[in-house]
Amino acid sequence: MSDTLFDFGMVGLGVMGRNLLLNMADHGFAVSGLDLDPNKALALENEADKGKPVKGTTNAEEFIHSLRKPRALMLLVPAGKAVDAAIASLLPYLEPGDIVIDGGNSYFPDTDRRVVELGERGLHFFGMGISGGEKGARFGPSMMPGGDRQAYERLRPIFEAVAAKVNGEPCVTFLGNGSAGNYVKMVHNGIEYGIMQLIAEIYDFMKRGLGLNDDPLEQVFSDWNQTEVQSFLIEITGEILKKSDDVTGQRLVNVISDRARQKGTGKWTSQNAMDLQVPLPTVDMAVTMRDLSAYKDERVLAAQQLGGISANAAADAGNQEVINQLRSAFYFAMLATYAQGFVQLRTASKAYNYELDLQEVAKIWRGGCIIRAACLEDIRQAFATNPDLPNLLLDANIGAALHQHQADVRAIVKLTIEKGIPMPALLSTISYFDAYRSAILPTNLIQAQRDYFGAHTYERIDQSGIFHTQWN
C-alpha cells in the first residue's frame, strides 16, 4: 500500500467525503483521504473492503505525494473560510496541472475567485455540487461539475462510474465554465427549498384543515409516490410520517420543533435571482417561511391575541376529493417551481458565460439528487425539443398539464383562506402562473407613480422614447 499511487484524493473524511471515497473504491479506483482527525482517517480504512487500495492519513504532504499525476483531489469541508484554509495548507505540495475540486456548497463568487487564484499557479480548480446526502454519496449521487473542460476528462471516468444511473446514463456531466457547477447546485437547493415548503403546507392542510391523523397522513404520501408526483421528497415524507419516537412512543415528527434551520443556499438563490431580475416567488416564500419559523415566541403570543387556527375536529367522507385536489395542486406547484429555477439557470448562463445545456441539467437531476422526480424526464424532453425554450410554462406538454391542474389549485386556495391555514408558497405559485400569462399587468400605474413622486420617467405603448409628465 505504501508504494501505491492513488487515483483520487479526498480532503475531509466526514460522512459525505468518506462515503464518496468508498463508492470510488467499490468501482475499482485507488483512493486516499486526508483528515486532521486521526479517528476519521482510520474509519475510512476500517470501512473499506479488505484488499481494496484505500488509505487514510492526517499528513498533508504524504497525502499529496501519494496521488498519481496530474493529481486530482476534492475538498469536502464547510463552505467559506474552511475551503480557503484547506487550499492554503495544500498549496506548498501541489504542482502545475493538478486539479482541485470543491465538492461543498460554496457561494459561486468564491468559486470564481478561486479559479483565478489557483489558475495563476497553473492549477485547475473545479466547483462541483454533489446531491444525494449520505446514501447518495455511498451508492450514487448526482454531481454537478464546472470549470475547465479539458481537465474534466481526467475526472470523467471516476465520476461517471460512481454517479447515480437513470436508464444506464450517469447523473453527472460537465456543466460549463467557471463556477457553473456551484451555481447549478445553488439553484438545485433553491428548488429544493420551494418543494419542501409546498409539501409542508399540504401536510399542514391535511392535518389541521382536514383532521387527518398520523396513519392516514403517512398513507396519503406513500400512495402519492406511485402517481405523477413521484419524487424523492414525497417518498421520504411518507417514511418520516411513520417513524416512531423511541422516547415518547409518538410519531417522531410530532415532537420535532417547528423552528426550521437553513445553511444559506436558498437565500443565495433568491438574492441572486433578484440581482438577475428573475422572478422566483415560490423559493422566495420558502426562505421567508423558514425565517418566520424562528419567531416561535411571537407566533405563540400572536396565536393567543389574534386567534390561532383551531384544528378540524375529525376527518369526514368528503376528504378524499380534497386530498385528490391537493395532489393535483402540488403537481402544478412543483412543475412551476422547476420552471422558475430553470429560468434562473438560463439567465445566469448568459450573464456569467456558463454555456449551460438545460437538457443536461434536467438529465442529471433525474437520479441521485434530493429533487429527483418523475417529472424531470418531461422537463428534459421539453429542452430536448426546444433548447431555447425561455420558460417551461411555454412548453406545449407542460403548459397543458398546468392548465389541466390549475382549477384544483384555485379550489385549495379558496379552502385555505377560508380555514386560515397558511399556504403562502402555493398562493405565490398560482399568482406567478397568473402573472406570467397576463399580457397586461398593472405596472403601468407603478411607472406613473414613480414619475409623479420622483420624475423617474416612463415609456408609452403608442410612441417610442422616454417621457416625463408634470402631474400636479
Does the pLDDT at position 191 exceed 70?
yes
pLDDT at 309: 73
Q: How many CB atoms lie within 10 A of CB 152?
A: 22
Does the pLDDT at position 316 exceed 90?
no
- Compare 262 and 55 and report the one with higher pLDDT: 55
List the catalytic residue out of 45, 62, 160, 192.
192
Average pLDDT, the chain: 94
- Which residues, listed in sequence order, are joined to residue 10 by a DSSP beta bridge? 33, 74
Does the pLDDT at position 2 exceed 60?
no
438 marked as binding residue:
no
pLDDT at 285: 97
What gap in Å lies between CA 432 and CA 281, rounded to an integer?
Answer: 7
Q: What is the pTM of this model?
A: 0.95
Q: Which three cell numbers stand for residue 285?
A: 416564500
- Which residues, listed in sequence order, are joined to residue 130 by a DSSP beta bridge? 143
81 marked as binding residue:
no
Question: Could you tell me the domains of the chain?
Answer: 8-174 (3.40.50.720), 185-437 (1.10.1040.10), 442-471 (1.20.5.320)
Mean predicted confidence (pLDDT) in 293-297: 94
Name the amino acid, one letter, at 180: A
Q: Which three cell numbers stand for residue 300?
A: 405563540
pLDDT band at 292 (very low <50, low <70, confident <90, very high): very high
Mean predicted confidence (pLDDT) in 41-50: 89
Does the pLDDT at position 367 exceed 90?
yes
353 marked as binding residue:
no
Does the pLDDT at position 312 exceed 70?
no
* Percentage of the chain lying above the pLDDT 90 cut: 87
pLDDT at 311: 59
pLDDT tens digits, one per residue of 392-423 = 999 999 999 999 999 999 999 999 999 999 99
List the catalytic residue out of 185, 207, 267, 363.
185
Contact 323, 415 (CB under 8 A): no
pLDDT at 65: 94
Q: Which three cell numbers stand for residue 239?
A: 417514511
331 marked as binding residue:
no
105 marked as binding residue:
yes
**Long-range pairs for 435-440: beta carbons < 8 A, 24 or more residues apart:** 435/279, 436/391, 436/393, 437/393
Active-site annotation holds for 242 = no
Contact 238, 225 (CB under 8 A): yes
Please state which of the ranges 84-88, 175-179, 262-266 shows the lowest mean pLDDT.
Answer: 262-266
pLDDT tens digits, one per residue of 71-118 = 999 999 888 899 999 999 999 999 999 999 999 889 999 999 999 999
What gap in Å lies between CA 266 and CA 263, rounded to an integer?
Answer: 8
Cα dist from 179 to 42, 115, 156, 278, 380, whole Å: 33, 8, 18, 19, 22
pLDDT at 315: 54
Helical residues (DSSP H) of 307-456, grouped into ranges: 319-352, 358-364, 375-385, 396-419, 424-436, 443-454
